[in-house]
Structures are given as structure tokens and as C-alpha cells.
Amino acid sequence: EDFEEGDVLELFMPVASSETLRFVVEWCDHHAKNEPSAIKAPLEGPLKPPLISEWEHGYLERFGVDESPTLIKEILNTANYMHIDPLIDLLAAKLGSKVQAMTETEIYAYFGVSAPTEAEMQEIVEHYPWLKEDDDEISSAVAASAGAAMRAPEGDEAHVESAQAAAVSASE
């Protein structure tokens, strides 16, 4: 069906609040006319211009990611549900850059989980084999983020998505 400007479209989105959808729609609306920044891994510096656009930098600054990943993980989960890969890349880079400077303890607190036991750490390495591909030592940021993804509260898909994204981004 063709839609024209001004048409109202009802969309059932079981994973997103109206606030989250407003952020996703705002991003899509802006990037319908502007090419999204290509996020290169590993990051070549802070996630701000010139690595990303001024608009994207301002967009990310509105999430309060420094205090809590709650809103960014909801937006990340919605972007994943809607298959908006450039938005996923941007949010993952933001989370990855945030956790890279943290200690393990800070990462666990940030994602709201406790440190894994040795048995759980073995399960994490088995679930994410790329954690040990390059060397035997796993960085604390990557391990803690992966651990947060594995140990997220039951049914909290946004928590899992954001922690996984942070682990991948922190490892690159």
C-alpha cells in the first residue's frame, strides 16, 4: 500500500514504548535524507565528530547513557527488532566506548548484574568463543559485558541486546 505525507499509520510494536519509538523514528527521519555515519571498529577516537555527524553526537547525548543504559538498550532492542543496522552500530559503539573505560565491577553495576562464578565464566566463553580467539586473556570490559548479556534478567531482551552489543564493540 502506498502512503502519502500526512497519512497516519498504526504500528504494533510489542517491544517499544512510545518514547523509544519517537527516538527511532527521529533517527530514521533524519537519515532518510542524510547518510548515517559508518562506524569503524575499533573506534579511532571518542565517539564524536568527525567520527560521527554533529547530529548523531547530539542524538546520543540525549540518552543519559552515562548514568544508566536503560533508554539506549530499549532503543537498541527496537532497532534490532526493526533491522535498522546503522542505528544498531551507532548504539553499540556508544555502549562499547562507555564500557571500555570501566572496571569489571563498574560494568556489572552498570548493567545491573553480579559478577559470574568460574562456572558461569566458562559458560560465557563457550557461548562467545570469539572472546578468546586472539589471546588467552579476556579483557575485563568484554568479559563483563558478555557476562551481563548472559546473566540478564529473564525476558529482558533489551538488556541482553545492549550488553551483547557492548561486548562486541568493546572487543573490536
pLDDT tens by residue, 58-98? 999 887 766 677 788 888 888 888 889 999 989 988 888 88
Q: How many CB atoms lie within 10 A of CB 100?
A: 19
Greater pLDDT, 172 or 67:
67
CB distance 123 to 112 below 8 Å: no
Across 68-90, b (16+ Cβ under 10 Å) vs e yields ebebbbbbbbbbbbbebebbbbb
Residue 154 has pLDDT above 60, yes or no: no
Least Cα distance to 94 among 46, 152, 159 occurs for 46
| pLDDT more than 90, % of the chain | 19
Greater pLDDT, 114 or 51:
51
Rounded CA gap, 3 and 34, in Å? 21
Rounded CA gap, 80 and 114, in Å? 26
Q: What is the pLDDT of residue 134?
A: 56
Q: What is the pLDDT of residue 159?
A: 47
Rounded CA gap, 60 and 30, in Å? 14
Task: For residue range 81-140, list pLDDT tens digits in order.
Answer: 888 999 998 998 888 888 877 887 888 888 877 777 888 878 877 877 766 655 555 555
Work out the pLDDT band at 17, boundaries 50, 70, 90: confident
